[in-house]
Structure 1
């Protein structure tokens, strides 16, 4: 099946459904260019930046021959006069896409839309998604609580994403704690049309993050991140961030809302204050361990600093490998349709026609999505400092997408994937598979049934082992 073409990639003009988040300071022209060259789409992180820097970074991209890119600004975190200048500059530069975040600023959206600029809004709730669509946004980014940096919402991505897809008609991208090809597949299975990467692309050679920050990412795990309001200078109140734990987040550097401001670093003559939202950049000096060390919960799945293009190729190769495992050329010999005949009454022995087969395949896909939802929900439990998606769900996500590809287009995302019953789905596969004519759909259902049976057997063995050792 194709992983590359959908409404989001068409609108953005890119080949791969992988986007670079507009990380303030970190996402400069070098990183955006690398992501673009690899087939993705990148946002320049220009939050609170002077217009001269915006012009320079945009010109640098265009000088390299890249015309498809975006710029990220955040109205709520920007002085009104500077925001006005930023908006005017982006319109004058004819930037193709702008990303916005935090409060829904309808006037800014209208100005960009009137200028023919596409607007992508990052949201943290379903209500906010609906408001952004009504304001005129062309695309949304559903940001789970697992995200690094400023976090708008409170729900884990596996809940927020399908709920958002169900509530709006425009394309939705997934963000927060994502780092692997399996994460891409799971996001697509839950209704996203692409993923937005922050931490995974910060740990690259082209990112403008300081090497000290990058090294700390490689040593960290998901549980080393924390959601905190300690870093607040430069942002409106009530703006939590996910960062790596440090002396600052542990309260060992004093109260974060003290009147006195302490200088801990410098960038081109500008002081960097303790408790500010500035993260370590190449252009800075100072006490980097006391700065905001942004990291999402996918950080533990990143173990090397590589070129951005290499990271994206690895993600795509991993995703395609999972999908390749679902491609069945012929039904497994141990699970032939004859084996199912004794399980079924005479009512099930008739062959399904085209429309009936399509409907049945869609029903199977929906139930498999529920099983996937159960796996994802169980892995999260009450913890928010874990990766967005459990790796146990990657295989199920690949099978969900394969069934979706076979069944063809239909209405998606109208129900959230709740915990499903694998045993019930196994029985249904046994009922439906023999009624399909020979071919890919039938062979796929037979192979899926075998996969689910093997997963159930393995889970039973693990449960018995745990009971014996407890």
Structure 2
């Protein structure tokens, strides 16, 4: 029998995807591919709970490289997952572990299993653990370290990391640093030597892929883009939220913190928890909101909903990166990877064609793609820099005002709200500094006059109201200007900034 129509379509799609991957393997092969043993420089992030054997095997079969997300898992479960991947694919893969989020005794057992099973690689995240890196390397296991700052990268290299993953602040899930992926990549490349650097954070398209490779990366790490696939172990609710969401629907928060180091940020899709409808996330009383294989799940926990999860899914951590708005369907992992690579191949071919014809006489017709930004209604370079510096001055003033009010206010809940606002304003300052630097310009050293005006207001209640007015002003300026900004990356970052100020408005 020839099979049903849908089966024939799936087979045809798989054949097409394989052809794209084979072609991309000859165009985009990097040193990371040689070390990892994969065809294309596309790596599956070791997402806890989500990146299990089915997804890891699918990514490996699609020419990429996968990491099992095994944070805080039992040795028995890790061993079973390793064997399931090996039964499904002959390709190499790794295991992702997080010492800082795992009880020491459990982490010791996890390491033992990886060493006993002779896994190809182990990826470590959060604090750099030199002893663990040394043990893995002594056992012949490749060590990959994900870092969020230049300091982390320096420590990982000194400890013996053989591949680095530079995680930009655009990433979903647990986010280590505060720098945009391209800025962090540039910093890490200056010290990495011959150690390949992969990039993670909001990568969802061929354009993203080409951008990081053209700036010296050895590959990309996909999280959210591969969470929304058929083989992912994420709950269907989680996948659908990603498909329906946009980058503006994501935010960084410390609300989901149980089982992780204090003060750790996560990027999630907004829900009733991030909107503050369930009280103080750091209250001492645990509130059960669900269950996973008999294990209680608590509100404000870092657990995300999985296929096996039941309960109040809406209040759980719905991890998603800034690439969310560019993920519009739930497809097989191979199809997702092939789609990204197909777009990247088309962009590379177009660039090659443009280079080849660069010496040809220009047409007298003015095409839209040839017009400069000002002609098309976008901000010019000088206007854009001026706008970003205006925002930077305003955010410095807002951060200073929130810090002062966090001390002056008497109500603990109001103090907590001001501390959260201060964290958001500080984050926005870093965002703006990164973007101004990326434009090759110097940031304004000034703090806006807003702080002086706020301190001239009588009474703390009136000052809080005045601060809210300032948040509305920034949000209005962003809404007015976002349509005039061409660059996708900057547009996404400022859209996130707008979302933070809209939250503050309410």
Do both share a fold (TM > 0.5)? Answer: yes
Contact 1:377-1:419 at 8 Å conserved across structures: no
Q: 1:55 offset after TM fit, Å?
A: 0.7
Match of 2:41 among 2, 7, 17: 17
- Determine the structure 2 residue equivalent to 1:81: 105
Are 1:293 and 2:326 matched, yes or no? no
| CA 316–125 in structure 1, closer or farther in 2 if over 3 Å, else same | same
| CA 3–133 in structure 1, closer or farther in 2 if over 3 Å, else same | farther
Q: 1:331 offset after TM fit, Å?
A: 5.0
| CA 87–374 in structure 1, closer or farther in 2 if over 3 Å, else same | farther
Matches within 5 A, 1:130-149: 130-149=154-173
Q: Over aligned residue pairs, what C-alpha RMSD do you find?
A: 2.6
- Determine the structure 1 residue equivalent to 2:232: 207
Contact 1:46-1:72 at 8 Å conserved across structures: yes
Contact 1:17-1:40 at 8 Å conserved across structures: yes
Match of 2:118 among 91, 94, 97: 94
SS at match of 1:191: coil
- Determine the structure 1 residue equivalent to 2:81: 57
Q: 1:66 offset after TM fit, Å?
A: 2.5
SS at match of 1:285: strand
Which structure has the higher relative contact order (CA within 8 Å, separation 6+)? 1
| CA 236–330 in structure 1, closer or farther in 2 if over 3 Å, else same | closer
Are 1:217 and 2:242 matched, yes or no? yes
Looking at structure 2, the residues matched to 235 and 9 of structure 1 have their Cα atoms a distance apart, in angstroms, of 32
| CA 324–49 in structure 1, closer or farther in 2 if over 3 Å, else same | same
Looking at structure 2, the residues matched to 16 and 155 of structure 1 have their Cα atoms a distance apart, in angstroms, of 26
Q: Which runs of 5+ in 2 are unaligned?
A: 1-23, 364-380, 393-424, 432-436, 442-484, 487-506
Q: 1:64 offset after TM fit, Å?
A: 1.8
Q: Normalising by the residue count of structure 2, what TM-score does the alignment of the two structures yield?
A: 0.67
Match of 1:325 among 335, 350, 354: 350
Looking at structure 1, the residues matched to 93 and 201 of structure 2 have their Cα atoms a distance apart, in angstroms, of 21
Are 1:105 and 2:126 matched, yes or no? no
- Determine the structure 2 residue equivalent to 1:270: 295
Larger proportion of helix: 2
Q: Which runs of 5+ in 1 are unaligned?
A: 337-372, 389-415, 421-457, 460-470
Aligned residues: 358
- Determine the structure 1 residue equivalent to 2:277: 252
Note the alpha carbon deviations across 1:382-424, whole angstroms, 9 max, x for none. Answer: 7979xx9xxxxxxxxxxxxxxxxxxxxxxxxxxx96539xxxx
Looking at structure 2, the residues matched to 418 and 104 of structure 1 have their Cα atoms a distance apart, in angstroms, of 32
- Determine the structure 2 residue equivalent to 1:228: 253
SS at match of 2:307: coil
| CA 252–374 in structure 1, closer or farther in 2 if over 3 Å, else same | same
| CA 72–185 in structure 1, closer or farther in 2 if over 3 Å, else same | same
Note the alpha carbon deviations across 1:236-294, whole angstroms, 9 max, x for none. Answer: 11111000011101110111111110000001110000000000000110111100000
Looking at structure 1, the residues matched to 35 and 29 of structure 2 have their Cα atoms a distance apart, in angstroms, of 10
Contact 2:61-2:89 at 8 Å conserved across structures: no
| CA 209–5 in structure 1, closer or farther in 2 if over 3 Å, else same | same
Looking at structure 1, the residues matched to 189 and 101 of structure 2 have their Cα atoms a distance apart, in angstroms, of 27
Are 1:237 and 2:224 matched, yes or no? no
Looking at structure 2, the residues matched to 124 and 332 of structure 1 have their Cα atoms a distance apart, in angstroms, of 42
Contact 2:148-2:175 at 8 Å conserved across structures: yes
